Amino acid sequence: AQSVTQLGSHVSVSEGALVLLRCNYSSSVPPYLFWYVQYPNQGLQLLLKYTTGATLVKGINGFEAEFKKSETSFHLTKPSAHMSDAAEYFCAVSEGSSASKIIFGSGTRLSIRP
């Protein structure tokens, strides 16, 4: 069985500061890992994903994440926060095969202070 743990249900940073959202996963098979962003009353938008290959993955809006197998982590970072980054962020894992289901973490709400 797969699972995802997001540490910190709420993270607050100042505009321009580093954003770090933590995600640890559990999977019995090589995982595919995802970060999604959700704005209020909207669906999910893919920020980035790791499938195979390079462990440092760059996504949209300046976000990136690094797959660390030894730490079973896939933390999301952004060097400089922008007010528009305020949203809910979900880390997710799938089994890595076609059409396998995605399991989501509990989410982290990111707030940006002016």
Partner 1 sequence: GAVVSQHPSRVICKSGTSVKIECRSLDFQATTMFWYRQFPKQSLMLMATSNEGSKATYEQGVEKDKFLINHASLTLSTLTVTSAHPEDSSFYICSAETGRGHGYTFGSGTRLTVV
C-alpha R_g of the chain? 13
Among 45, 55, 61, 111, binds partner 1 (CB under 8 A): 45
- The yes or no reply on residue 49 touching partner 1 (CB under 8 A) is yes
Mapped onto helix, strand or coil, the DSSP state of residue 69 is helix
User: What is the phi/psi pair of residue 60, to 5°?
Assistant: -80, 165
Nearest distance from residue 28's CB to partner 1, in Å? 18
Q: How far apart are CA 14 and CA 17, in angstroms?
A: 5
- The yes or no reply on residue 31 touching partner 1 (CB under 8 A) is no
Residue closer to partner 1 by CB (options 54, 99) is 99
- The yes or no reply on residue 61 touching partner 1 (CB under 8 A) is no
